[in-house]
Amino acid sequence: MLRDKSLIPLSRQHQHALALCVRINRAPLTTSREVLQWQAEVQQHFALEIQYHFAAEEKEVFPLARRTAALVPLVEELLAEHARLRGYFEQARARTLDGPALRQFAEMLSVHIRKEERGLFEEMQKYVSPKELERMGGNLEEDLAPAADACITPTEQILKRG
């Protein structure tokens, strides 16, 4: 299904986060230095984009989705995942993740994003009126403004410098 224009900013941010997940999964993560660098990148991604993304979903998207009874269980599941993912981001900030935990984080974030894209967003487009989606989109634009220019995809050279 073609994505409603009101959800496109969230979908773009999902692409950024999925790119992070792919890069983590491809990284060797064999040295403590590599693990520390990846934790720094995860922390940066949260600070520049994901914290705003989660807050916007929780303020605008999830309440609107909850108006459809069939979506309530999915919204509850996504909220619980936000809490668990915030735990991973906090561990990255504290530099307490190891290589396997970074990979678990990447897997969980990837599954979470696909659940939002293929489940929540698709269903919302079926059940929520175009007018409500448009109103939500305007609110999302404001909520995501602090992260609007953040596209975090540093090169391997940048990672090696850290």
Q: Where are the domains of the chain?
A: 5-145
pTM of the model: 0.90
List the Cα angle 152/83/98 in 5-degree steps.
60
Check residue 155 and give its pLDDT: 42
Check residue 1 and give its pLDDT: 79
Residues 152, 158 contacting (CB under 8 angstroms):
no
Distances (CA, A) of 76 to 28, 60, 131, 144, 149: 34, 14, 24, 22, 30
CA 102 to CA 35: how far, in whole Å?
Answer: 8
Check residue 160 and give its pLDDT: 53
User: Mean pLDDT in each 10-residue stretch from start to end of the chain (162 residues)?
Assistant: 94 96 97 97 96 98 98 98 98 98 98 98 97 98 83 47 50
Check residue 148 and give its pLDDT: 67
